[in-house]
Amino acid sequence: MSSAPDLPALRAHFQSGATRPYRTRRDALKALKRALKKHEEALLSAMHADMRKPRFEAYMADIGLVHAEIDHALANLRDWMRPDGVPTPLVLWPAGSSIHPQPLGVVLIIAPWNYPALLVLSPLVGAIAAGNCAVVKPSEETPHTAAVLEKLIAEAFAREQVLVVQGPGADVIPPMMEGFRFDHVFFTGSPAVGRKILAMAAPQLVPVTLELGGKSPAIVDRSANVDTAAKRIAWSKFFNAGQTCIASDYALVHADVMDAFLAAMAKHTTAFFGTDPQRSPHFARMVNDKHFQRVKRYLAEGKVLFGGQADAAGGYIAPTVLTDLPMESLVMQEEIFGPVLPVISWKEPEEVLSIAARNPTPLALCVFARSRSVQRFFTEHIAFGGGCINHCLLHFGNLQLPLGGVGTSGMGRYHGKRSFEVFSHIQGMVTASRLLPEPGVHYPPYSTWKEKVLRWVMG
């Protein structure tokens, strides 16, 4: 944007109470849905222009999920807004207790580039459902999509309710956060930038939700259906050219099934993208040269089982599997965020725990095993945000499940009702009776008799 955003206008609009009524929130969500439908083709074209995102993947993982989020909010909004009565202890009698979700005010949503529509609009659905005004910052690394989003949002909302801010994050975010107190900041991106956001929010004690990344393993036990495991890992890893925060960053495969797994990975990758994935319309590209060069350097580490080709002119890195990797290699220390899958063998479960523990906290964990005890062992001994048993990525698509990290992979949860709650102040209230007299034990002067009553009531 060429001029500073008018943040006080959003604050004034919120304080007017205009965003609080159920009908206003419902109508705003419906307007967003209409605008999303209207600009659907433009968004699909923009995401293809930004990163060659296949049309199917762009609809499935960006647009379709936003429609689902809006529909879910519309179906449940009245219930979410309704005060919830809770029991009142005897010591507070005669009174009633209830929980009231209140909108926070003006919130800031900072989105990344890998799912440039979803990760702008999905949290925005929660913010609007909760009755807030919002400032939205799309990623400058997907400029075509950011431009369409600005048009879409301007059509759905008045500028004093939702405002889009464009430009490099390092230029536009610090001045906003220093000069205006947001009521919540919702950031999706890397841990490194997340730390900076948290530091900027700290002086004004602004609460922050951080949806970050990590080093997320797929664990394949010898009891697994190896062919199915390979198919599902290949799909999830090479979806969006690996640029997915909950994709499997590396695979830990039991030594007894390693050869079968590697053969199945090659078979299914060819089935998905052909013998020359560069010619496939179903395979995305690295978003820009910076990320291309970052991922390309991993190709020189370990042994390339298949793939390994790279073309800077098109931002193309082939779906690649690496083996024979030392633990100190960069590809086994950094979040890859590209179509490169290191595969490590193991024999004892403790080896898996040791490898997972030396890496950043996983945002997701996938365990492939028929054995329930093996499933429980890994899900109970590894800290992770969320995940799947015998599949990958699917937990993102269930709006009944919370999405969020733990440790260095993030803080806070969203999706479905959690999106409404993360942008709400959950306010507890006690309402004293106007009709029944209170016992008055808690008023001075105190006495031995009052203390006995107090101890009996409070246990």
Angle, alpha carbons 361-413-20 (nearest 5°): 160
- The burial of 215, by beta-carbon neighbours within 10 Å (0-12 exposed, 13-18 middle, 19 or more buried), is given as buried
Per-position DSSP letters for 309-372, written without gaps between them? -EEGGGTEE--EEEES--TTSGGGTS---SSEEEEEEESSHHHHHHHHHTSPPPSEEEEE-S-H
- What 3-state class would DSSP assign to 141? coil
Within a 10 A sphere around the Cβ of 356, how many other Cβ atoms?
A: 23
CA angle 283, 122, 362 (to 5 degrees): 65
Examine the residue annotation and report whether 160 is marked as an active-site residue of this protein.
no
Angle, CA 317 vertex, CA 44 and CA 307 arms, to 5°: 125
Q: Give me 277's structure tokens.
A: 């994935």
Gap between the Cα atoms of 14 and 105, Å rounded? 6
Question: Packing angle between helix 40-51 and helix 22-38, nearest 10 degrees?
Answer: 60
Containing 208, the helix (H) or strand (E) segment is: strand 208-211
Spot the catalytic one: 40, 133, 141, 245.
245
Pick the closest to residue 254 from 226, 292, 274 (CA basis). Answer: 226
Note whether 120 and 46 are within 8 A (CB): no
Gyration radius of the chain over CA positions: 25
**Residue whose C-alpha is closest to residue 398's, from 387, 412, 411:** 387
C-alpha torsion sign, points 211, 116, 177, 8: negative
Identified catalytic residue from 40, 69, 141, 211: 211
Catalytic residue check, 245: yes
Reduced to 3 states (helix: H, G, I; strand: E, B; else coil), residue 212 is: coil
CA distance 178 to 167: 17
Q: Sign (positive/negative) of CA torsion 121, 51, 252, 329? A: negative
Rounded to whole angstroms, the Cα distance separating 177 from 249 reads 33
Which active-site residues does the annotation give? 211, 245
